[in-house]
Amino acid sequence: MQTDETNQKKSMAATYQRLRGSLMRYTSRYFRKPHEIEDVVQEAFVKVLEAQGDRTIQSIDAYLFRTARNVALNKLSKHENKLTDALGELMTESDIALSPTLEQDYESKERFELFCESLVELPKRCQQAFVLRRVYGFSQAEIAQRMGISVNTVEMHLAKGVVRCERYMRKQSNDDCGELFKRNQRRGAKL
Q: Where are the domains of the chain?
A: 2-90, 100-187
- Is residue 121 within 8 A of residue 171, CB to CB? The reply is no
Angle at 133 between CA 121 and CA 172, to 5 degrees: 30
Count of C-beta atoms within a 10 Å radius of residue 61? 13
Q: Which amino acid belongs to residue 121?
A: E
**Side-chain-side CA neighbours of residue 117 (13 Å):** 14
- What integer is the mean pLDDT of 142-155? 95
Q: What is the pLDDT of residue 172?
A: 83
The structure's pTM equals: 0.41
The DSSP-derived string for 106-142 is HHHHHHHHHHHHHHHTS-HHHHHHHHHHHTT---HHH
Query: How far apart are alpha carbons 110 and 17 in whole angstroms?
Result: 57
Query: How far apart are alpha carbons 156 and 154 in whole angstroms?
Result: 5
pLDDT digits (tens, 9 = 90+) for 16-69: 888 888 888 988 888 888 888 899 999 998 888 888 877 888 888 888 899 999
Residues in the chain: 191
Q: What is the pLDDT of residue 126?
A: 93
- Is residue 140 within 8 A of residue 186, CB to CB? The reply is no
* pLDDT beyond 60 at 179: no
Conformational region of residue 143, where left means phi above 0, alpha means psi within -120 to 50, and beta covers everything else: alpha
Q: What is the pLDDT of residue 109?
A: 83
Query: How far apart are alpha carbons 93 and 69 in whole angstroms?
Result: 35
Query: How far apart are alpha carbons 161 and 56 in whole angstroms?
Result: 80
- What integer is the mean pLDDT of 173-182? 55
Q: Select the CATH number that applies to the domain covering 2-90 from these four: 1.10.1740.10, 3.20.20.140, 3.40.50.920, 2.102.10.10.
A: 1.10.1740.10
CATH of domain 100-187: 1.10.10.10
- What integer is the mean pLDDT of 66-95? 70
